[in-house]
Chains A and B, each alone.
Chain A
Amino acid sequence: MTDSKYFTTTKKGEIFELKAELNSDKKEKKKEAVKKVIASMTVGKDVSALFPDVVNCMQTDNLELKKLVYLYLMNYAKSQPDMAIMAVNTFVKDCEDPNPLIRALAVRTMGCIRVDKITEYLCEPLRKCLKDEDPYVRKTAAVCVAKLHDINAQLVEDQGFLDTLKDLISDSNPMVVANAVAALSEIAESHPNSNLLDLNPQTINKLLTALNECTEWGQIFILDCLANYTPRDDRESQSICERVTPRLSHANSAVVLSAVKVLMKFMEMLPKDLDYYGTLLKKLAPPLVTLLSAEPELQYVALRNINLIVQRRPEILKHEMKVFFVKYNDPIYVKLEKLDIMIRLASQANIAQVLAELKEYATEVDVDFVRKAVRAIGRCAIKVEQSAERCVSTLLDLIQTKVNYVVQEAIVVIKDIFRKYPNKYESVIATLCENLDSLDEPEARAAMIWIVGEYAERIDNADELLESFLEGFHDESTQVQLQLLTAIVKLFLKKPTETQELVQQVLSLATQDSDNPDLRDRGYIYWRLLSTDPVAAKEVVLAEKPLISEETDLIEPTLLEELICHIGTLASVYHKPPSAFVEGSRGVQHKRLPGSAGSGESVESPDTGSAAGVSDAPPAVIPSQGDLLGDLLNLDLTPPATTGPPPPATSGMQLGAMDLLGGGLDSLLGGDLGGSSAMGAGFGAPPAAPAASFSAPVSGGLDDLFDLGGGVGMPMGAYSPPKTVWLPAMKGKGLEISGTFARRAGVIQMEMTLTNKAMSVMTDFAIQFNRNSFGLAPAGPLQVLTPLSPNQSIEVTLPLNTVGPVMKMDPLNNLQVAVKNNIDVFYFSCQYPISMLFVEDGKMERQVFLATWKDISNDNEAQFQIKDCHLSSDAASNKLQGSNIFTIAKRTVDGQDMLYQSTKLSNGIWVLAELRVQTGNPTFTVSLAQQTVWSNHCSDCAANY
Chain B
Amino acid sequence: MISQLFILSSKGDHLIYKDYRGEAGSDVIDVFYEKVTALTGDQPPVVMVTHHKDLHFVHIRQGGLYWVATTTADSSPFSIIEFLNRLSGLVKDYCGSLSEKAVQMNFALIYELLDEVLDYGYVQMTSSDVLKNFIQSEAVSSKPFSLFDLSNVGLFGAETQQNKVAPSSAATRPIQSSRDPGGKSEIFVDVIEKMSVVIGSNGVLMKADIEGEVRVKCYMPSCSEMRIGLNEEFSVGKSQLRGYGAAVRVDECSFHQSVQLDEFHSHRILRLCPSQGEHAVMQYRLSDELPSAPPFRLFPSVERDSAGRLLMYLKLRCDLPPKRSVSLLPEGAGLSQELSSPDQSAELQLQNRTVFWKIPRFCGGTQLSALFKLDVPGLSSASMLEVGPVGLSFELPKWTGTGLQIRFLRLSPIHPGPSQRWVRYVTHSDSYIIRI
Contact = CB atoms under 8 A, between A and B. Distances in A.
Interface of A: 2-4, 6-7, 35, 38-39, 42-44, 63-64, 67-68, 71, 75, 78, 101, 108, 111-112, 114, 139-140, 143-144, 146-147, 150, 175, 179, 182, 186, 215-217, 220-221, 224, 249-254, 257-258, 286, 289-290, 293, 295-298, 300-302, 322-323, 325, 327-333, 356, 360, 363, 365, 397, 400-403, 566, 568-571, 573-574, 578, 581-583, 586, 588
B107 A322 contact: no
Interface stretch (B112-120, B147-155, B311-319): B112-120
B76 A569 contact: yes
Interface in B195-219: 196, 198, 200, 206-207, 209, 211
Of the four ranges (under 10, 10 to 19, 20 to 34, 35 or more), the interface on chain B belongs to 35 or more
B254 interface: yes
B396 to A, nearest CB: 17
Contacts of A221: 122
Contacts, number: 223
B111 A4 contact: no
A250 B254 contact: yes
A143 B15 contact: no
A410 to B, nearest CB: 13
A537 B191 CA distance: 74
B158 interface: no
Contacts of B108: 3, 35, 38, 64, 68
B389 interface: yes
B287 A253 contact: no
A457 B385 CA distance: 34
Nearest to A297: B45
B328 interface: no
A58 to B, nearest CB: 16
B256 A2 contact: no
Nearest to A368: B41
A581 B48 contact: yes
Contacts of B280: 251
B386 A363 contact: yes
Given A4-B104, A322-B207, A298 B120 contact: no
B120 A146 contact: yes
Dominant secondary structure at the A interface: helix
Given A67-B112, A290-B285, A569-B74, A401 B383 contact: yes
Contacts of A216: 126, 257
Interface in B44-66: 44-46, 48, 53-54, 56, 59-60
Nearest to A62: B136
A738 to B, nearest CB: 34
Interface stretch (B78-86, B160-168, B240-248, B416-424): B78-86
B39 to A, nearest CB: 10
Contacts of B21: 150
Given A301-B45, A365-B352, A578-B74, A3 B107 contact: yes
A581 B50 CA distance: 9
A581 B102 CA distance: 37
Contacts of A400: 382, 385
Contacts of A290: 252, 254, 283, 285
Given A68-B108, A251-B283, A329 B120 contact: no
Interface string B18-36: 0111100010000000000
B277 to A, nearest CB: 15
A570 B56 contact: yes
B252 A38 contact: no
Nearest to A571: B74
B370 to A, nearest CB: 20
B62 to A, nearest CB: 9
Interface in B158-195: 194
Nearest to B136: A64
A279 B428 CA distance: 35
A295 B136 contact: no
A39 B287 CA distance: 49
Contacts of A108: 115, 119
Contacts of B287: 322-323
A111 B20 CA distance: 10
B430 A327 contact: yes
B120 A258 contact: no
A371 to B, nearest CB: 15
A363 B54 CA distance: 40
A299 B124 CA distance: 24
Contacts of A150: 21
Top 8 closest A-B pairs, CB basis? Answer: A327-B431, A254-B79, A297-B45, A217-B123, A578-B74, A333-B44, A64-B136, A293-B211
Given A251-B255, A401-B383, 6 more contacts: A146-B120, A215-B125, A258-B78, A356-B206, A401-B386, A588-B74
Find the residue from A112, A253, A570 having the highest chain B CB count within 10 A.
A570
Given A363-B388, A582-B73, A2 B252 contact: no
B388 A581 contact: no
B433 interface: yes
Given A67-B136, A363-B386, A570-B46, A254 B196 contact: no
